[in-house]
Chain A
Amino acid sequence: MPSPAFHAPDTVEGAVALLSGDPTARPLSGGTDLIVQMRSGRIAPSAVVDLKRIASLSGVRREGDAFVIGAATPCTALKNDADLCAAWPGVVEAANLIGSVQVRNRATMAGNLCNASPAADSVPALVAAGASCVVAGPAGMREVAVQDIPVSPGRTSLASGEFVVEFRLPVRGTRAADAYLRSIPRTEMDIAVVGVGANIELDADGTCTAASIALGAVAPTVVLVEAAGAALVGTRLEDDALASMVEAVTAACAPIDDKRGTVAYRKAMAGVLAKRTVQIAAQRAGAKA
């Protein structure tokens, strides 16, 4: 492959300057998408800007009532933060379904999001969790909802010179939890046919007070199915409530037919997985009482 220039700035400002000065420069996090695409000749960036030397981009920290996850934090490192795992088990498990241990030791959620694959595993979990990301660019910093980043397969809403510096998730109390499940033809190392993230809050007697459900791999971008969440709020997740939730999920799917699954299969599986994911999230939330 033609060799791009390589830069490893140690400040956000340095990275912004390098990226905004050169429209075909690309940020590098774990490289598990970027380097594969460069090697296959699909892309030929003029420069690669490694974000991992910027200290504030690595690791998980608490800022007031938010968990802040640095954009260059590899997926496996999320598992080391016990508070994050307790509050957002679904986000951590989604990120840790990506590839193999070797891949997850490098791969980041920011790369997963900005690669903009419809099947990216961490994205439905982040969207269901209501995560936002902080984006740095020539105009300074802005905060944006995760679901507003991907616009179509392989394309994001980020402007030239912009990149994700961190994710933000609320620190939250008891009786709330999330979960993520995906369906793949094998047990490991495959691309999701359907992925579902669910985030559930319960009150003291088990009534659902908030619910959000997001789907991956059934449309060009992640889908937050508001009607599915609404079908659960105010119920105790009885069978008929779950059935209306499944109906809303199935209606929101606009999948493709490919060797991994037909349209009908993906729609049916989205419903099956949504029900299971909600039940796991609710069971986790209840167990936190």
Chain B
Amino acid sequence: MNRIHVNSTVNGDATQFLCDPGASLLDVLRDTLHLTGSKEGCGSGDCGACTVELDGEMVCSCLVLAAEAEGRTVATIEGVAEGSVLHPVQQKFLEHAALQCGFCTPGFIVAAKSLLDRNPNPTETEVRYWLAGNLCRCTGYDKIVRAVMDAAAELRQERTPA
């Protein structure tokens, strides 16, 4: 089987890789590019642990063929913090203890950031619907929702000029 040569931008860096035509974007991120923050919980679009942004829209990377990323921009959990400075969503997940085993956390953080980039003032209902495609077996969701609401409040403050 011929491998495909793909050029894309991953977390801001021009990136090239070779992949099997049937490989998922998640396979390439984890196994070829060694960006193992994105997780495979189900491989069928149900759990959201593999959430990344593709051209600015969040998708399940397990349901994207790696070859589709040609010329496109991919943003993963590894690009969310700026160096050692955590994004407010990450900081609030820590403060609210919004994780236990942590397997679902990268997907939740990419999804929550994607919401807050679009809507800095979501209602709790909007947060819950937006995160409906991310499953967590541990927390019961309440702490996750609190963390996202609190991160939204902090981002609004940061954005308001003093």
Q: How many Å lie between the Cα of A100 and that of B43 in the bound state?
A: 15
For residue A5, CB closer than 8 A to chain B, the reply is yes
- Check A106–B65 contact: CB distance below 8 A: no
Please provide the chain A residues from 1 to 29 with a CB less than 8 Å away from any CB of chain B in the complex. 1-6, 8, 28
Identify A28's interface contact among B43, B44, B60, B65, CB under 8 A.
Answer: B65
- Check B63–A106 contact: CB distance below 8 A: yes
- Check B68–A100 contact: CB distance below 8 A: no
- Check B133–A6 contact: CB distance below 8 A: no
For residue B94, CB closer than 8 A to chain A, the reply is no
State how many angstroms separate the Cβ of B64 from the closest Cβ of chain A.
Answer: 7
For residue A101, CB closer than 8 A to chain B, the reply is yes
State how many angstroms separate the Cβ of A41 from the closest Cβ of chain B.
Answer: 12
For residue A174, CB closer than 8 A to chain B, the reply is no
Please provide the chain A residues from 89 to 126 with a CB less than 8 Å away from any CB of chain B in the complex. 99-103, 105-106
The closest CB in chain B to the CB of A188 belongs to B132
Identify B130's interface contact among A2, A31, A101, A189, CB under 8 A.
Answer: A101
- Check B111–A3 contact: CB distance below 8 A: no
- Check B63–A189 contact: CB distance below 8 A: no
Among listed B21-29, B79-87, B138-146, B152-160, interface-contacting one: B21-29
- Check A102–B59 contact: CB distance below 8 A: yes
- Given A102-B133, A106-B64, decide whether A36 and B44 contact each other with a Cβ distance below 8 A: yes
- Check B48–A100 contact: CB distance below 8 A: yes
Q: Mark A184-208, 1 if CB is under 8 A from B, else 0.
A: 0001110000000000000000000
- Check A99–B45 contact: CB distance below 8 A: yes
- Check A48–B21 contact: CB distance below 8 A: yes
A residues in contact with B48, CB < 8 Å? 100, 102
- Given A101-B111, A189-B132, decide whether A8 and B68 contact each other with a Cβ distance below 8 A: yes
State how many angstroms separate the Cβ of A15 from the closest Cβ of chain B.
Answer: 15
A residues in contact with B14, CB < 8 Å? none
For residue B10, CB closer than 8 A to chain A, the reply is no
For residue B46, CB closer than 8 A to chain A, the reply is yes
Identify A31's interface contact among B57, B65, B129, CB under 8 A.
Answer: B65
B residues in contact with A189, CB < 8 Å? 46, 132-133
For residue A52, CB closer than 8 A to chain B, the reply is yes
For residue B101, CB closer than 8 A to chain A, the reply is no
Q: How many Å lie between the Cα of A54 and that of B20 in the bound state?
A: 23
B residues in contact with A48, CB < 8 Å? 21-22, 65
Q: Mark B111-132, 1 if CB is under 8 A from A, else 0.
A: 1001000000000000001101
State how many angstroms separate the Cβ of B99 from the closest Cβ of chain A.
Answer: 19
B residues in contact with A74, CB < 8 Å? 57
The closest CB in chain B to the CB of A40 belongs to B44
For residue A147, CB closer than 8 A to chain B, the reply is no
For residue A235, CB closer than 8 A to chain B, the reply is no
B residues in contact with A28, CB < 8 Å? 65
For residue B105, CB closer than 8 A to chain A, the reply is no
- Check A6–B67 contact: CB distance below 8 A: yes
For residue A155, CB closer than 8 A to chain B, the reply is no
For residue B58, CB closer than 8 A to chain A, the reply is yes
- Check B67–A31 contact: CB distance below 8 A: no
B residues in contact with A61, CB < 8 Å? none
- Check A2–B133 contact: CB distance below 8 A: no
For residue A221, CB closer than 8 A to chain B, the reply is no
For residue B76, CB closer than 8 A to chain A, the reply is no
State how many angstroms separate the Cβ of B21 from the closest Cβ of chain A.
Answer: 4
For residue A209, CB closer than 8 A to chain B, the reply is no
Q: How many Å lie between the Cα of A105 and that of B72 in the bound state?
A: 15
The closest CB in chain A to the CB of B4 belongs to A6
The closest CB in chain B to the CB of A1 belongs to B22
- Check A39–B43 contact: CB distance below 8 A: yes
Q: Mark A47-88, 1 if CB is under 8 A from B, else 0.
A: 010101000000000000000000000101000000000000
User: What is A's interface to B at a CB cutoff of 8 Å?
Assistant: 1-6, 8, 28, 30-32, 35-36, 38-40, 48, 50, 52, 74, 76, 99-103, 105-106, 187-189
Closest 4 pairs between A and B when the two form their complex, measured CB to CB: A100-B133, A3-B22, A6-B21, A188-B132
Question: Would you mind naming 13 contact pairs between A and B with Cβ atoms under 8 Å apart?
Answer: A6-B22, A6-B65, A6-B67, A8-B70, A35-B24, A35-B62, A35-B63, A38-B22, A100-B134, A102-B45, A102-B111, A102-B133, A105-B57
